[in-house]
Structure 1
Amino acid sequence: MKYKQLTENERYMLSALRKQGLSVPQIANALGRHRTTIWREVKRNSCWSIDGAYRPPIAQRRIRVRRRKSRSGIKLTESDFILVRVLLGYEWSPEQISGFLKRHGHKCVSHESIYQYIWRDKAAGGELWQCLRQSLKRRRKRYKAYDSRGRLADKRHISERPKPVEDRQEIGHWEIDTVIGHGTKDCIVTLVERATGYLLIGKLPDRTTASLNKATIRLIKNSPLPIKTITADNGTEFHQYKEIEKRAKVLFYFATPHHSWERGSNENANGLIRQYLPKRTSMKEVTQQQCEAIERRLNSRPRKRFGFKTPWEMKNDYA
Structure 2
Amino acid sequence: MSTSEACRLVGINRKTGHRWRYGRLSQAKAGQQDVSRPAARPSAVSGRYLSQDERIVIADQLCEGASQAAIASELRRSPGTISRETRRNRHPDSGDYQPYAAQQRADSRRPRPKLGKIAACPQLRSLVQGMLDCKHSPEQISRRLRRDFPERSELHVSHETIYQALYVQGRGELRRELSAALRTGRVVRRPRRQPGQRQPRFTHPMVMISERPAEADDRAVPGHWEGDLIIGKDNGSAIGTLVERATRYVLLVHLGAGRSANLVRDGLLAAMATLPHHLKRSLTWDQGAEMAMHHEFSIAADMPVYFCNPHSPWQRGSNENTNGLLRQYFPKGTDLAVHTREHLAAVAAELNARPRKTLGWDNPAERLAKLLAVTS
Question: What TM-score, normalized by structure 1, do the two folds share?
Answer: 0.52
Contact 2:251 2:271 (C-alpha < 8 Å) held by counterparts: yes
Among residues 189, 197, 204, which one is paired with 2:255 in the alignment?
A: 204
Give the greater-gyration-radius structure (CA). 2
C-alpha separation in 1, matches of 2:203 and 2:288: 11
One-letter amino acid of the structure 2 residue matched with residue 235 of structure 1: G
Q: 1:281 to 1:166 in 2, by over 3 A?
A: same
Partner of 1:11: none
Q: 1:271 to 1:209 in 2, by over 3 A?
A: same
1:228: how far off? 1.4
Partner of 2:294: 241
1:317: how far off? 1.6
C-alpha separation in 2, matches of 1:184 and 1:191: 20
One-letter amino acid of the structure 2 residue matched with residue 214 of structure 1: D
Structure 2: gaps of 5 or more residues: 1-190
Q: 1:289 to 1:159 in 2, by over 3 A?
A: same
Indicate yes or no: 2:271 matched with 1:219: yes
Indicate yes or no: 2:327 matched with 1:274: yes
C-alpha separation in 2, matches of 1:151 and 1:217: 20
Indicate yes or no: 2:371 matched with 1:318: yes
C-alpha separation in 2, matches of 1:259 and 1:174: 17
Contact 1:150 1:234 (C-alpha < 8 Å) held by counterparts: yes
C-alpha separation in 2, matches of 1:267 and 1:309: 20
C-alpha separation in 2, matches of 1:309 and 1:212: 31
How many residue pairs match? The answer is 176
Indicate yes or no: 2:236 matched with 1:185: yes
Partner of 1:101: none
C-alpha separation in 1, matches of 2:204 and 2:348: 34
Among residues 313, 316, 319, which one is paired with 1:263 in the alignment?
A: 316
1:149: how far off? 7.4
Higher relative contact order (CA 8 A, sep 6+): 1
C-alpha separation in 2, matches of 1:277 and 1:149: 33
SS in 1 for 2:269: helix
Sequence identity percentage: 36
Question: What TM-score, normalized by structure 2, do the two folds share?
Answer: 0.45
Deviations 1:229-283 (A, max 9, x none): 0000000000110111111100000000110000001101111110100112111
SS in 2 for 1:222: coil
Deviations 1:273-298 (A, max 9, x none): 10100112111211111111110110
Contact 1:171 1:196 (C-alpha < 8 Å) held by counterparts: yes
Contact 1:149 1:234 (C-alpha < 8 Å) held by counterparts: no
1:183: how far off? 3.1
Contact 2:255 2:267 (C-alpha < 8 Å) held by counterparts: yes
